Amino acid sequence: MNNTIATLITFTFLLSLTLSTVSYAEDDKSKWQKPTPVFKQDFDWIKLTSDEWLKGDIVSMYDEKLEFDSDELDMQTIDLEDVSELRSKSWQSIRMFDGTIAEGYLVFKDGQLSLVKNGVTTHYEFSNLLSIASSGQNERDLWDGYVNLGINLREGNTVQFDYTFSAGIQRRSSSSRFKVDYTSDYSSYEDQDTEVSTVTADSERLTSSYDWFFNPKIYFRAADFEYMADDFLNIDYRVHYGIALGYHIIDTSRTSWDINLGPSYQKTKFIDVGADDSDSENSLGVTLGTDFTFEVTGDIDYDASYSVQVIDEKSGGNIHHFQTGLEIDLANDFDLELTFYADRTENPKEDSAGNTPDKNDYRLVVSFGYDF
């Protein structure tokens, strides 16, 4: 009997130990289950294939690259193949390869793309998705911009003041892009003996374009406008209008390279000309342009752009504009920019005194900027 009691006690102990171990294992398993975030409507949410969640704002998606403004990590460019789930806080507009445009609350999960609009869910073929952008109902979300300022002040033996100011805005939808950029450059110094100030640079340039995307590789530039003025190039103003057809040569998550070509019209008003010369010239021409960007690291971007306007000799001949530089993220939306500009006019206009401006202008600018 004693053996029987001992056996029962041993069995009871082993059973209790086994149940306790299983219970602990179940508790331990629940402790390590991956958490599901609380989807606050103040943010768009994205889940990566690595199981990481980001909250922020969907900026746009084109050619399988998603631009996402993370609440903590700032602007991120993510390959669409690295996204496993996407939820929008407000209406988004999508464009499909077949030309279909639709809008609503966007949900992408388990390879399924859906739009929820007025309580109705519509499913779309994810492989047919061309682009994503904020809906027209969220007009403010379609816009972004920047402001940069570089200043050089010198006092003492040399009194000098230089500044370069640039600003721009862009509106990007699922099917189009509108851009405006402005740059102003000014420099002067004061003679210590005479206290007379002399201006050594005074120019401004405004460019604007409207692109319509009708497939992943080709876009139509329906409007290409430029206004330019430069006292030291003897130009009161120069206005350029054009249209172009563009092509994406490279378009990856880190590198993009576009090229565009099209006809143009230009009108130039000169400040000072000879007695027998006209103070304005009109010309038809052709404009070729290219833009290149490369993400060096997560915080450093390199970009370069070049354009040449082929017009008649009286209007200046071939006019070249080249711009390249680095943008370095500092903190939040602030950055440091190093930009090199090069301009060349093949046939600058001679003034009434017989002076001809130099063909080439160069400048290197260091500036601080803010993106919004």
Q: What share of the chain is helix, strand, coil (3-state, %, to 5)?
A: 15, 65, 25
How many Cβ atoms are within 10 Å of 285's Cβ, its own excluded? Answer: 19
* pLDDT at 29 (0 to 100): 45
Nearest to 363 by CA among 243, 186, 218: 186
Topology given in CATH for the domain delimited by 142-371? Lipocalin (2.40.128)
Nearest to 254 by CA among 280, 285, 292, 206: 292
* pLDDT at 16 (0 to 100): 57
Kindly report, residue by residue over 183-234, the tens digit of the pLDDT.
Answer: 999 998 887 777 788 888 899 999 999 998 877 788 999 999 999 999 989 9
* pLDDT at 117 (0 to 100): 85
Kindly report, residue by residue over 15-29, the tens digit of the pLDDT.
Answer: 555 555 545 444 444
* pLDDT at 89 (0 to 100): 87
How many Cβ atoms are within 10 Å of 237's Cβ, its own excluded? Answer: 15
* pLDDT at 19 (0 to 100): 52
Q: Where are the domains of the chain?
A: 1-30, 44-134, 142-371
Strand 197-213, strand 319-331: pairing: unpaired
Query: What global pTM score does this model have?
Result: 0.70
* pLDDT at 36 (0 to 100): 54
The residue ranges of the chain whose pLDDT is under 70 are 1-40, 63, 135-139, 141, 156-158, 174, 253
- With 0-12 CB in 10 A as exposed, 13-18 as middle and 19+ as buried, what is 188? middle
Task: Give 182-187 contacts, CB < 8 A, sequence gap 24+.
Answer: 182/206, 182/207, 185/363, 186/161, 186/162, 187/160, 187/161, 187/162, 187/163
